[in-house]
Amino acid sequence: MTRRIDLRRVAQYGVVVVVAVTLNFLLPRLMPGNPLALIAGVDVGMLTPDQRAEIVARVGLDAPMWQQYLRYWGDIFTGDFGFSFRSSRPIVDMILERLPWTLLITGLSLLVSAVVGVLLGAISAWRRGTKGDLSMLSGMISIESLPSFWLGMVLVSLFAVQWGLLPSFGAVTPASDLEGWAHVWDIISHAILPVTALSIVGTPGVYMTMRYSMLETLGEDYIRTARAKGAGERRVLFGHVARNTIAPVITVLAIRLGFAFGGTVIIETVFSYPGLGRLVFEAVAGRDYPVMQAAFLVFTAAILVANLAADLLYPLIDPRSRTS
């Protein structure tokens, strides 16, 4: 029963971390283009060569690659990522400002997707082959095929522009001085459309995993035996099936939680939502190396931790893998 944490597994993750961090360092620098325009501002063309050199030296881009690389590792351990080329603000602040917004919409939609997907997936599997299963299944496959940006724009068109029911952009009403519940409601009303869009496109994945996993379980001999023995459906469902089904679903959700930190460039763009995805998209477009490096690191770390957690959790949750 007691299971040691698999040290080799953890070590393998360590290697992945090093590779990923190295790639995070290299990717921005491999991209063609010059961050000078961002650092120096609008009229970069009017700089003298001396001024250029001075700026490049100040942000450390004149150092040899290996020095920059070492410095990046140093930054990772000190947690100080310096200043953005573009906005000249401390990067840690920039990320911390946006992270809560991103987590708000990705987290809420993950929750919705999880609950709806697990419930519908279970019902669908339990009633497999019926009209209900067929319509749910085809409905979910259709939803999975929706382009998310298109869905978002149609939602804005209808709910915000045509009917005026919900705000069309942002996370809060700017400069509204709302307080207390009015402020909470303001945040919720801004989150409704993005969360809806994200939940819709996120549900089918959970539903499918749940349905598959449950069908597998239902196919196991002991369940068939239990059913054949005439055990009550409810007892079979909750007693035997649920605990054997949930492990793969938890894995999927854990990994999604990791990705949630990265935000969603597309949905954040469509709704002008101030999340991490947009920050990174703009940083990439403008070759804002420090912001890119730091943000990629956050993403990578979140995804890795989620994967590791899923890996380590799996044997604890899934009784089958333990017995073997």
Partner 1 sequence: MQRVKRFKWAILLVVLALVVVGCGDDDAEEEPVATTAAEAPATTPAPEPADEEEEPATAPAEEEEEPAPETTTTTAAPPPPPEPVTVRAAITGDEGTLNPYTYISGFPGWNILMLQYDSLMQLDAAGVPQPWLASSVSVSDDLTEWSVTLVEGVTFHDGEPLTSDDVAFSVEFYTTNPEASRFARDFRGVADVVVHDDYSVTFVLESANPGFDVVALADAPIIPRHIWESVDIPSEHDFGGTNIGSGPYILTEIAPDQSYRFAANPNYFRGAPAVDELVLIIFADDAGAQAAIRTGEVDVIFERIPPEQIDLLDAQDPLDVILGPEFATQMINYDASIRPFDDVAVRQAINLAMDRQDIVDTVYLGAATVGSPGWIHPGHSVYNPGIAVDVYDPAAANALLDGAGYADSDGDGVREYDGQPMSFEIITNASDSLRLRIAELTVEMLAAIGIETEVLPVDTAVWENAVWPGFDVNNGRNYQIAMWGWSPPVQADPLRLPWLVHSSLDRGFLNLTGYGNAEMDELSEALAVEPDPAGRKAILGRMQEIIAEDLPFVLLLYPDGAYVYDSSVYADWEFIAGQGIVSKLSLLAPSARP
Partner 2 sequence: MTATGGEDRAIRRAVRRRSRLPTILGVAGLVIVGALVVTAVFAPWLAPYDPTERIARPFLFPSAEHPLGTNDVGHDLLSEIIFGSRVSLMVGLVAATVALLIGTTVGVIAGYYPKRLGSTLMRGVDVILILPFLPLLIVLAAYLGRSLLNTILVIGLLIWAEPARIIRSQVLSLRSREYVLAARSMGAPDRWTIIRHIVPRTALLATGSFVRAVSGAILLEAALSFLGLGDPIQKSWGSTLYWAQTRGAFLTPAWKWWVLPPGILIMLASLGFALIAFSLEERINPRL
Among 149, 154, 220, 269, binds partner 1 (CB under 8 A): 269
Q: Which of residues 191-250 bind partner 1 (CB under 8 A)?
A: 238-239, 242-243, 246, 250
| Segment interacting with partner 2 (CB under 8 A) among 41-49, 74-82, 107-115, 296-304 | 296-304
Which of 79, 179, 228, 324 touches partner 1 by CB under 8 A? Answer: 179
Q: Is 168 in the site for partner 1 (CB under 8 A)?
A: yes
Check residue 282 for interaction with partner 1 (CB under 8 A). yes
Angstrom distance (rounded) from CA 51 to CA 91 = 24
Task: Choose which of 20, 27, 146, 172 interacts with partner 1 (CB under 8 A).
Answer: 172
- 304: number of Cβ within 10 Å: 16
Confirm if 170 and 190 have CB atoms less than 8 A apart.
Answer: yes
Q: What's the min distance (Å) between Cβ of 137 and partner 1?
A: 24
Long-range contacts of 170-176 (CB under 8 A, 24+ apart): 170/271, 170/272, 170/273, 170/274, 171/101, 171/104, 171/273, 171/274
Q: Based on the shown chain and the rule CB under 8 A, indicate whether residue 33 belongs to the binding site for partner 1.
A: yes
What is the identity of the amino acid at 103?
L
> For residues 186 and 208, which CB has a smaller minimum distance to partner 2 in the complex?
208
Residues 6+ away with beta carbon under 8 Å from 316: 3, 322
The pair of structure tokens assigned to 282 is 């703009």
Among 3, 4, 5, 32, binds partner 2 (CB under 8 A): 32
CB of 148 to partner 2, least distance (A): 7
Residues between 89 and 148 with contacts to partner 1, criterion CB under 8 A: 89, 94, 97-101, 103-104, 107-108, 110-111, 114-115
Positive or negative: CA dihedral 90, 92, 96, 102: positive
**Widest distance between CA atoms in the chain:** 87
The entry of partner 1, partner 2, none near residue 100 (CB within 5 to 8 angstroms by kind) is: partner 1
CB nearer to partner 2: pick between 113 and 213: 213
